[in-house]
Every structure is written in structure tokens, then in C-alpha cells.
Amino acid sequence: MVAVSFIRPLDYRAEALYTVFLSLYVIFVIFATLPIYRILVSRGVPEGSARYYARKLIHMFAGGVVAVLVPHVYTSPLFPLLASFALALLLVLARRYRPLYWFQASDNMFEVNFVLAWGLSIFILWHIFPNPFVAVLPAIFISYGDAVTGIVRNAIFGYRTKHWYGNAAMAIVCLPVGFIYAGFYGLLAAVVAVVVERIEVGPLDDNILIALTSTAILAYPHIGYIIS
């Protein structure tokens, strides 16, 4: 694990270069799902279902891979936060001027929620206690756990829906990861994340709720330190 700091990277130049490289990788993953979407549609998969598969692949191979790498290449959460804001802005602009139709749905902006929840959860937890492996845990939950549950439901039902089959798959992924990264509180955060994944209230989707609840649980043991 690299040395960590609260806000200022130890090596601005190196971490800026990492950010450029990882941002290009994320963009590559986004566009790499376009042919997958087209293949699925050509084989009779409904467009909405194919779009959902593409979105979940982006969750895992963009958000998930980068979240796992963050503790190894960054000494501060500053650049991950800035990169998440930049990507969120690009996604909003794409919706306005040229929608990325193979994963952006017209009836919600959940991919924007995902990016913001990813960056903010890392930034907040990193400041509560300087352990980047704990800080990336909510991002891993929404990247891999939420993706797995969506893929399982899509494969079984053929459309986006909520069902405990998906939550069981999410539990298989998140519970051991939570325990490995953060012990008891990581396990507890994973359990709560699995439960709240089923909840959506208007624009408040599972990405936000998973990141919010798991961040709060992981932060709880350090509340006294924060207040003092």
C-alpha cells in the first residue's frame, strides 16, 4: 500500500498521469460495450435489456477495476474525485447533445449517480480515516455487487427489475469483500448494501443508497475521532 494523505497527493505529476491513463481506460471500456450491445440486439435481445447489460459491464470493468487500483496508485483521493466529477459532466453533456444510447437510458440518469457516488464515497471515507482500502469499499459494492445483481436479474427475467435472486448474487460478491477490506464493519456494510439495493425512490437510486449507507456504517467507528 502506498503512503496516504488527506488531500494533497505526494506526487502530483505521477498521480495526474495515472488519472489520465485510467480516464482513457474508462472511455475505452465505455465504447467497447457498444459492439456488445449491437451483438445482443442482433441476436434478439430487447434493446432495454441489452442496454442494461452494457451498463453493468461498464460498472465492473470501468468503475470496479479503477476502484481496486485506487489504493495502489494514489496517495490522496483528490484526483479520483476530480475524475469522477469530470466524467459525470461528460455524461450529462452526452445526454444533452449526443446520447450514448447503448448504455444511457432516456428515463433515468443513474449512470451519472453511479459516477458521483463512486467518487464522493472514496473522498469522504479517505478523510475520515486514511485507509484507502476501506475508502474504496462502497465504490466496489456499487461497481461489482450492483452489477452482478443486475446481470443475474436480467438473465433470468429479461428486463430490469428487482428480485431477491439478484440480491443473493450480490451477497455472494459483497460479503467476503467487505470482510476482507474492513472486517466486521465491512461485513455489516455489505449486508446493508445488499438490502438497500432493492430500494429506488425517484432519482434516488440504488447507487446512491448503497454508497450512502455503506459509507455511514464504515464511518461509524470513527465518529468520535471526527467530532474531536
Low-confidence ranges of the chain (pLDDT < 50): 1, 224, 226-228
Chain Cα centroid distance, residue 59: 6
Distance separating alpha carbons of residues 207 and 139, to the nearest angstrom: 9
Q: Which residue has the cell 488527506?
A: 6
Task: Identify whether 6 is part of a domain.
Answer: no
Q: What is the pLDDT of residues 39-79, one digit of tens each?
A: 999 999 999 999 999 999 999 999 999 999 999 999 999 99
Task: Identify whether 1 is part of a domain.
Answer: no
CA distance to 12, 59, 145, per residue, from 196 (Å): 37, 18, 12
Could you write out the three-class secondary structure of 158-210? CCCCCCHHHHHHHHHHHHHHHHHHHHHHHHHHHHHHHHHCCCCECCECHHHHH
Task: Identify whether 4 is part of a domain.
Answer: no
Instruction: Report pLDDT for 154.
Output: 82
Instruction: Report pLDDT for 4.
Output: 52
Task: Identify whether 69 is part of a domain.
Answer: yes
Rounded to the nearest 10 degrees, what angle do helices 12-42 and 78-97 cross at? Answer: 40
Please give the sequence-ordered ranges of beta strands (E in DSSP) within the chain, or none if there are none.
none
Instruction: Report pLDDT for 228.
Output: 46
The number of domains in the chain is 1
Pair 42, 137: CB distance under 8 Å? no
Distance separating alpha carbons of residues 53 and 180, to the nearest angstrom: 28
Task: Identify whether 5 is part of a domain.
Answer: no
The domain containing residue 217 runs over which residues? Answer: 12-227
Instruction: Report pLDDT for 153.
Output: 83
Instruction: Report pLDDT for 6.
Output: 57
Task: Identify whether 7 is part of a domain.
Answer: no
Task: Identify whether 123 is part of a domain.
Answer: yes
In the predicted model, what is the mean pLDDT of the chain? 90
Instruction: Report pLDDT for 157.
Output: 74
